[in-house]
Amino acid sequence: MDAEKPSGKGRTVTVVGGGVAGMSAACALAEAGMRVRLVERRSYLGGRATSFLHPGVGEVIDNCQHVLFGCCTNLAGFYRRIGVADRIRWTSGMTMIEPGGRRSPLGPSWLPAPLHGLPRLLAARAFTLRDKAALGRAFRALLRPVPADSTESLAAWLARNGQTKGALDRFWRLVIASALNADIDSIALPYAAKVVRELFMNSAEAGRMGLSTVPLGELYVGAAELLRGRGGAVSLGEAVESASWDEGASRWALAARSGSLASEFLVLALPFEAMARLLPRMPDREGAGALAAKIGRHEHWPICSVHLWFDREITELDHAVLLDREVHWMFNKGRLQAWRRRAGSYLELVVSASRAFAALSREEAVARAVADLAEFFPVVRSARLEKAAFVKELRATFGVPPGIDASRPSCTSPWPNCFLAGDWTATGWPSTMEGASRSGHLAAEAVCRAVGEPRSILVPDLGPTGLMRLAAAWSR
């Protein structure tokens, strides 16, 4: 990051959308010396990665556990920029648990990448010998990069590469498809290959998992402070309803609830459905129709979380992957967020990409989650459930089916001085906080180029280590 050299001094920018994409763009531009106003429809920052006071349980909870990985270099760069990198706790281990409680710890060893995870995978009792051989074959095949324009689905590729039922159910569906939050037949192979390479092959550092020790919303206090400290502003509860461009003055005027907002540059960091709503209220321009058509090809996938407070400790594990049941991930929030510590425990269970689970009522979802949990931790049967919350996010992520890249626009827009950001734009990443942060950094770079003072904001990838470096060189 070129943090020291101020550029674009005093130029005015409005960033619409206070999610990770908008905040990443806004903070980078403020650091580049511009006067930035961040405008957010809700009364708090964070968008789809946030926390809120849940009225039913009287606690501040995340809308869902969000995890990042070592390979998320731009998100980590954003956290460093706003001074909260030390609120992320990093861990390299992952425990798979079967119904009945048998555990298989996975994680790195001293071996060089991509072999670092092998000893524990070979010892994992969750997989049979045939499962392990199938996974080994698949990983070997993924040493060769998958062409970015491949139109094969993950499901088709797995069938072609002879994956067993155990490997399919316990690794590909549970770990990879849930990281991409879609069914395996709705995932483009290049995205699955990217996740496997980043989390399991490139390096132990790239695959380590980061979890916030504070509610997500607390992380963003640093973003608001940075913007205000550099002469900018944060307008909350302010939905932008339309935008017009004054060619003579070279300025944008935005119609918002409290009146009109003007600036020389505009970054629209909206989710795709909000961008679709705003489009007809933007100036008529060649290219706007093509953008609308691209947006129309995107689809949402849900994620649900069930938050459970018990009167006693349920497990000493910080987190776990739960096999063969409706719930997929367990996060022991009482342990991960030490300040919450009290008698009993607070667990969050996550169900990815399940439209059926998202259709349940609160009572049904809580009952099913508790029943599943008891199969992994029998103490649940004798514990008292003190309170519970069910959070469904029906528009959690956008899907990455084969061919989706043609519908992900770059940060340039059909309008002058206007740039696009948001996880759904062309970053090469799936719907993640890293994708959002990258898109914000790309848009910020584009604004800097437009004012004639280009600077490098995008944080480079970690790159492969060990034998993966040789594999990368060999495949070039």
Binding region for ligand FAD (CB under 6 A): 16-22, 39-42, 47-49, 63-64, 66-68, 239-240, 269-271, 274, 278, 303, 393, 396-397, 422-423, 431-436
User: CA angle, corner 414, sides to 301 and 437, nearest 5?
Assistant: 45
C-beta of 386 vs 405, nearer to ligand FAD: 405
- Tokens 């349940």 locate to 360
C-beta of 107 vs 422, nearer to ligand FAD: 422
Closest approach, Cβ 240 to ligand FAD, in A, equals: 4
Closest approach, Cβ 142 to ligand FAD, in A, equals: 21
C-beta of 134 vs 433, nearer to ligand FAD: 433
Closest approach, Cβ 475 to ligand FAD, in A, equals: 27
Closest approach, Cβ 22 to ligand FAD, in A, equals: 6
97 and 323 Cβ atoms separated by less than 8 Å: yes
C-beta of 48 vs 328, nearer to ligand FAD: 48
Q: Distance (Å, rounded) from C-alpha 281 to C-alpha 253?
A: 12
Q: Distance (Å, rounded) from C-alpha 274 to C-alpha 19?
A: 13
C-beta of 16 vs 158, nearer to ligand FAD: 16
Closest approach, Cβ 148 to ligand FAD, in A, equals: 20
C-beta of 263 vs 397, nearer to ligand FAD: 397
Closest approach, Cβ 93 to ligand FAD, in A, equals: 17
C-beta of 42 vs 469, nearer to ligand FAD: 42
Write the CA distances from 34 to 17, 27, 313, integer angstroms.
18, 10, 50
202 and 71 Cβ atoms separated by less than 8 Å: yes
Q: Distance (Å, rounded) from C-alpha 155 to C-alpha 147?
A: 17
Closest approach, Cβ 317 to ligand FAD, in A, equals: 18
**What is the maximum alpha-carbon separation in the chain?**
72
What single DSSP character describes residue 198? I
User: CA angle, corner 464, sides to 141 and 426, nearest 5?
Assistant: 85
Calculate the dihedral angle through the C-alpha atoms of 201, 205, 206, 212, rounding to the nearest 10 degrees. Answer: 140
C-beta of 413 vs 432, nearer to ligand FAD: 432
- Reference 333, options 389, 376, 395, 371; nearest CA is 389
C-beta of 66 vs 368, nearer to ligand FAD: 66
Q: How far is CA 8 from the centre of its chain?
A: 30
Closest approach, Cβ 141 to ligand FAD, in A, equals: 26
Closest approach, Cβ 473 to ligand FAD, in A, equals: 30
Query: DSSP letter string over 4-59?
Result: S---STT-EEEEE--SHHHHHHHHHHHHTT-EEEEE-SSSSS-TTS-EEEETTTTE
